[in-house]
C-alpha cells in the first residue's frame, strides 16, 4: 500500500526522465544553476519554447527548482527525487549488501562500545586511535 503510494509519487519523475533531452538538461544543471537563456544557448537545436516546455516537465517532476534573481530565472537541479528513485528501486536489489553491512555495523558497534569505555577511562587516548 505504501509502496504503491510512493510509486504514484514518483510517476512525474519517471515521466520527466523519459526524454533524452531532459536528461541532458539535467546533466548540464549538475554543473550548477543556469538561466533559461543558458539552456537555450546550450541546446540550439531546440526552440526556446521547446526548452521552456521541457523545463516545465522537469519542474513538475520536482527535478528542478526555479528561483528568480532580479529579472532572471535560475534553474537549480534538485537531486532529491533521484535519491528517492534510488532508494525505492536500487536498494531493493542490494539485499545481500545490506546483510553484509548489518554484520559490519554490529561488529563496529561492539568495537565502539569498547572504544567508548576506553575513552571514558582515558579521554586523551581515544582521539588518537583509529
Partner 1 sequence: METPVPLEDHVFSIDINVPRRRVWDAILKTGAIQRFMMNTVLESTLEPGARMLYYSPNRKYVFVVGEVLEVIPERKFSHTYMFTTQSEAPSIVTWEFEDIPAGCRVTLTHSGWTTQVKTHKDVGGGWRMILDALKSELETGKIPLKMRLTYGLMGATAFMLPRSARAEGMEK
Binding site for partner 1 (CB under 8 A): 2, 5, 9, 31-35, 38, 41-42, 62, 65, 67, 76-81, 83-84, 87, 91, 94, 98, 101-102, 104-105, 108-109, 111-112, 115-116, 119, 126-127, 129-130
- Least spacing, CB of residue 16 vs partner 1, in Å: 14
Q: 55 vs 77, which CB is nearer to partner 1? A: 77
Nearer to partner 1, 18 or 102 (CB): 102
Q: Is 11 exposed, middle or buried (0-12, 13-18, 19+ CB in 10 A)?
A: exposed
Of the two residues 35 and 52, which places its CB atom closer to partner 1 in the complex? 35
CB 129 within 8 A of CB 115: yes
Give the nearest distance from C-beta 79 to partner 1 in angstroms. 5
| Shortest CB 115 distance to partner 1, Å | 5
Q: How far apart are CA 53 and CA 58, in angstroms?
A: 9
Q: How far apart are the first and last CA of the chain?
A: 44
Cross-sheet strand order for the sheet of 34-35: 34-35, 72-77, 64-69
The 8-class DSSP code of residue 92 comes to G
Amino acid at each position: 500500500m505504501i509502496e504503491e503510494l510512493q510509486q504514484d509519487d514518483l510517476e512525474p519523475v519517471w515521466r520527466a526522465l523519459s526524454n533524452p533531452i531532459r536528461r541532458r538538461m539535467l546533466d548540464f544543471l549538475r554543473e550548477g544553476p543556469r538561466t533559461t537563456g543558458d539552456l537555450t544557448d546550450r541546446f540550439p537545436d531546440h526552440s526556446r519554447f521547446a526548452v521552456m516546455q521541457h523545463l516545465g516537465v522537469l519542474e513538475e517532476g520536482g527535478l528542478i527548482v526555479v528561483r528568480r534573481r532580479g529579472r532572471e530565472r535560475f534553474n537549480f537541479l534538485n537531486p532529491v527525487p533521484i535519491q528517492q528513485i534510488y532508494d525505492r528501486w536500487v536498494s531493493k536489489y542490494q539485499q545481500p549488501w545490506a546483510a553484509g553491512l548489518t554484520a559490519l555495523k554490529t561488529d563496529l558497534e561492539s568495537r565502539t562500545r569498547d572504544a567508548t569505555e576506553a575513552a571514558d577511562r582515558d579521554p586523551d587516548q581515544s582521539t588518537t586511535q583509529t
